[in-house]
Chain A
Amino acid sequence: MNQMTFPDHRPLTTAPQGAGLVPDPRQAPAAAPVMNLTDVSVFYGSYEAVRNTTMPVHTHQITAMIGPSGCGKSTVLRSLNRMNDLIPGARVAGGVTYHGQDIYERDVDPIQVRRRIGMVFQKPNPFPKSIFDNVAYGLKVNQIRDDVAGRVEQALRGAALWDEVKDKLKTSGLALSGGQQQRLCIARTIAVQPDVILMDEPCSALDPIATSKVEDLMHELAGQFTIVIVTHNMQQAARVSHHTAFFTAEVDANGVRHGRLVEFSETGRIFTNPVDKRTEDYITGRFG
């Protein structure tokens, strides 16, 4: 049935536990990177939005992507689970591997890719269904039929939402507050037990309290999942991530802007001792 079967690497026992605010730079990555980008360029039609990105996504760690608006963070993120396929004219060149397998290979089914590499969006987007059905939908889609109620509860607990909604599972997911909706979306994503979770500015629509809840949540989830997060909030990147990728937009000889990965390193290094001048300017607020 599946055109492609991935080796199941879960659960990994070597996950870093209780990650601190700034991860120890000497701490080696727990295992081989779960994903690798090699010379990835993304095109929208003939426009090359992002050029030659090479970076790893380390297993059971949080990788943050930061950079000015329009530099291609979302574009790169979407290329990690083939969400770009849904945009007419979008094309990815270069190699994106997941456990060593190129996800853009011909016989790879994007649906199978997305079942392992889930995504949380900038704007909370629950379905117009009950809270329970929102979480159960992913299970249904992934043909998980046993103990649906138990799994829904577990996912809602995992997303730190259970106590707030346990008495109203039958009400609409859209009747929750924005922060609760976003945690519902996270619950929906973790319910299907993906390997990697991609988050595109998951807190940008949330207030500080809801944000800190989601950040705590990310720390907890990192023990179980690999997380890639796009954020405009540098404190957030510094607080939650183990590795940080800094992107910027460069203007080429023809005057066209392209997104570019400037620097990828442990978060501690990026924020205290960046190699590239542009990184330093950006994190110290001297950008543009």
Chain B
Amino acid sequence: MTSPPAPPGPTAPGRHQRSDPTPRPTLASRGRDVLGDRLFRYLCLAAGCAVLATLVLILLSTLQQSWPALRESGLGFLTDSAWIPNDPDGPGPRKATFGALAFIYGSLVVSAIALVFAVPVAVAIALFLTQVAHRRLRGPAVTVIDLLAAIPSVVFGLWGILVVAPALAPVYDGIHGALGGIPGLGSLFGEPVSTGRGYMTAGLILAIMIVPIITSLAREVFTTVPAADMQAAYALGATRWEMIKGAVLPHSFGGLVGAVMLGLGRALGETIAVALVIGGSVQVTANLFASGDALPAVIVNQFGESGPLHRASLIGLGVVLFVITVLINVAARFLVRRAEIRMRGAAA
């Protein structure tokens, strides 16, 4: 390091200098590329913002519309299970009461029943279609299941009211007779309504309605499982079911939760089919065979003939439904994130 380096510059003699120097590579950004990239980014951003803005606008406008009712009822709107839009004694001194608890409860119970029945069935169908069924069977089977999704919900509701509910009423009676006496468990299977219209029937109809969407999403999820993982399981001597447990399901957890969430969203929001078969009564009871009501069903049944406060209260029900859906989805994301970190490490 004794001799100072030659000063840089075009005149400096250097070993690398050739008679025909190769042009310096241009690393500076080229305008056109940057423009396209920017445009694309803004487009994506705009699309994302539009979705968010729509959500916020819906929330704000419904909140504003329902504000008179929410102010009037206060916290009782969420905690009170009495919903008396008109004074039963005719126009008199008693005030109308708007408590949404029975409907919140009904919505959650009916959706829970739907998931309990639909998720295992849908996952099983999806596993069958992706892992077991012969390739030639897959096409027709998928078509049939997708057709199920094409049936209008009002048809499901009519089928429920005309066929399913009457058919299930004696079944409920039987279950009530067998299990009703057991303490604790018995309260779930209490005295059924004679028409068969209630939480259970609504839940079952909903289950049938959400099976196609969960199946179809679960199928997509299962087909993304890497063949390498499945081979690893087989190479250890796994049976098909053991392979599914070890390789397919762990890989699919996040996707499956997403599929279930979409099914749940549909179940929570389903209006007309539930309105037809849930029975329409305002109560909070553990008895799954009892009749009840759900948020969207109440809205659609009462909206036409409502006075101003009643109307605001019904919109309030919509706000509650919206908030419930958002909360459940956020909780699901959190759950998935935690599970993914556990299964794949923080890089996932």
Contacts and interface: CB of A to CB of B under 8 A. Distances in A.
A171 B228 contact: no
| Chain B contact residues: helix, strand, loop or mixed | helix
A115 B237 contact: yes
Interface in B314-346: 341-346
Contact of A112 (B237, B343, B346): B237
A21 B242 CA distance: 40
Interface size on B, as a range, is 20 to 34
A45 interface: no
Interface stretch (A32-40, A126-134, A233-241, A265-273): A126-134
Nearest to B239: A111
Contacts of B238: 111, 141
A141 B236 contact: yes
A119 B236 CA distance: 7
14 contacts: A86-B234, A111-B237, A114-B234, A125-B229, A127-B250, A128-B229, A129-B250, A129-B343, A141-B242, A142-B236, A172-B345, A172-B348, A175-B345, A185-B232
Contacts, number: 89
Interface of A: 81, 83, 86, 88, 111-112, 114-116, 118-119, 121, 123, 125-130, 137-138, 140-142, 171-172, 174-175, 185, 188-189, 192
A127 B232 contact: yes
Contact of A175 (B233, B236, B250, B346): B346
Nearest to B228: A125
A81 B231 CA distance: 12
B242 to A, nearest CB: 5
B293 to A, nearest CB: 43
A127 B343 CA distance: 8
Nearest to A137: B246
B12 interface: no
Nearest to B343: A128
A185 B236 CA distance: 10
A128 B236 contact: no
Given A81-B235, A111-B237, A141 B246 contact: yes
Interface string B217-230: 00000000010111
Interface in B233-289: 233-239, 242, 246-247, 250-251
Contacts of A116: 237
A140 B245 CA distance: 11
Contacts of B246: 127, 129, 137, 141
